[in-house]
Amino acid sequence: MAILLSDSEFVTIQKLIFREVGIDLQASKKLLVQSRLLKRLLFYKFDSYIDYIRLVQINSAERIEMINLITTNETYFFREIDHFEFLQNKIIPNHPFKKKFRFWSAAASVGAEAYSTAMLLDKTMARSDWEIVGTDINTEVIKKARIGLYPQKWADKIPIELKKAYCLKGKGKHEGQFLIDRGLVENMDFRVGNLMKYNAEVGEFDVIFLRNVLIYFDDETKQMVVDNVLKNLKVGGYFFISLTENLNMIKTPSLKSVATSVYQKIK
Ligand SMILES: C[S@@+](CC[C@H](N)C(=O)[O-])C[C@H]1O[C@@H](n2cnc3c(N)ncnc32)[C@H](O)[C@@H]1O
C-alpha cells in the first residue's frame, strides 16, 4: 500500500523547513517531498508521514537527514562561465597581492564552484596567497566536497589546461571518476553553515558567490540572507548571485552593480 503525504502533513513540513533553512517549499513540491522522504519512513518502518514528522520534531539528527533530502544541490564546474571570466580578467589581476585572497562559496553544494575558483587562483597565485571556504546547510554535500571526487563527465566543463593540471583520472574502483589534485583540496575549508544566520566564524572575504540559492527563499528571507552574507564581504569586495537571479525586491545600499549579477561593496 502506498504511503501518502496529506496536505496538513505537508504544511507542517513546509513550516519546519522554512524555520530551519528558509526554503519556501511551494505546494507544487508536495509529491517531490513525499518521494524524497519515503526512504526515511521505510528505514524506520513507519506507515505514515505523521510518525516521521513527530520524530524530526524531537530529533535534531533526523532533522539534518530531512534537510539533506529536501535541499536541491545541482551544480557543475564553471557554471555561468561569465562569472569565472570576470573573476579571472577583472578581479584576480587587480588584487593587491599583499594580502591573502579570500573567496567564499556560500552555498557550495558538492564544491564544484569552489574548486573551479581554486583552479583559477592557483594558476596565478602561490598557494599560500589564497584561501577558499565553502559552506552549505547539507551535511552530505559538504562531505563530498571535502573528498573532491566527481563523475568523469563533470570534467567536460573544465578548461583543458586546468583539467590537465588539477584533475586526476580515476583508475580501478575509481574508473569513470576524477579526483581533484590533493594540494588544492588541502588548501580548502568546507564546512556546514546556515545562511539564515551571520557566519562570523568564516571571516571576511574579497569575493563571495551566493549563486542559485536565493531562488528558494521568499523576499523577506532573501533580504535576511543577503544582509548576513554581506557582513562577511570586505569593502571593495565583490558579490555574485546567479545570472538567473536578481536583487530587485530587496535593499542593498552598500552595493553597486558592476556587471550582470555582479556587485561591489562600496561602503
Ligand atoms: C542549487 S545549489 C547551488 C550550488 C552552487 N552555488 C551553484 O550555483 O552551482 C543550492 C545549495 O544551497 C544550499 N542551501 C539551501 N538553503 C541553505 C541555507 N539556508 N544555508 C546554507 N545553504 C543552503 C543547498 O543545500 C544547495 O546545496
- Segment 168-212, tens digit of pLDDT: 999 999 999 999 999 999 999 999 999 999 999 999 999 999 999
Average model confidence (pLDDT) across the chain: 97
67-85: pLDDT as tens digits: 999 999 999 999 999 999 9
For domain 7-70, give the CATH number.
1.10.155.10
Q: What is the residue whose three cell numbers read 564546474?
A: 77
Rounded to an integer, what distance in angstroms lies between the CA atom of residue 204 and that of residue 34?
Answer: 39
Ligand 1 pocket check for 136: Cβ under 6 Å:
yes
40 is catalytic: no
Residues of the chain within CATH 3.40.50.150 domain(s) are: 81-265
d(CA 158, ligand 1 centre) in Å: 21
Lateral strand order in the sheet of 205-209: 188-192, 130-136, 101-105, 205-209, 233-240, 262-265, 255-259
What's the sign of the alpha-carbon dihedral 101, 110, 71, 51?
negative
241, with CB counted inside 10 A (0-12, 13-18, 19+), is buried
Ligand 1 pocket check for 74: Cβ under 6 Å:
yes
pLDDT of residue 96: 75
pLDDT of residue 25: 97
pLDDT band at 98 (very low <50, low <70, confident <90, very high): confident
Ligand 1 pocket check for 134: Cβ under 6 Å:
no
Tell me, yes or no, if the pTM score tops 0.95.
yes
Residues of the chain within CATH 1.10.155.10 domain(s) are: 7-70
pLDDT band at 97 (very low <50, low <70, confident <90, very high): low
51 is catalytic: no
Three-state SS string over 202-244 comes to: HCCEEEEECCCCHHHCCHHHHHHHHHHHHCCEEEEEEEECCCC
Question: Which one from 24, 36, 146, 191 is the annotated catalytic residue?
Answer: 36
Question: Which one from 79, 122, 136, 206 is the annotated catalytic residue?
Answer: 136
pLDDT band at 99 (very low <50, low <70, confident <90, very high): confident
Looking at the domain covering 81-265, what would its CATH class be? alpha beta
Q: Which atom number of ligand 1 is nearest to the Cα of residue 112? A: 9
The pLDDT of 13-33, averaged and rounded, is: 97
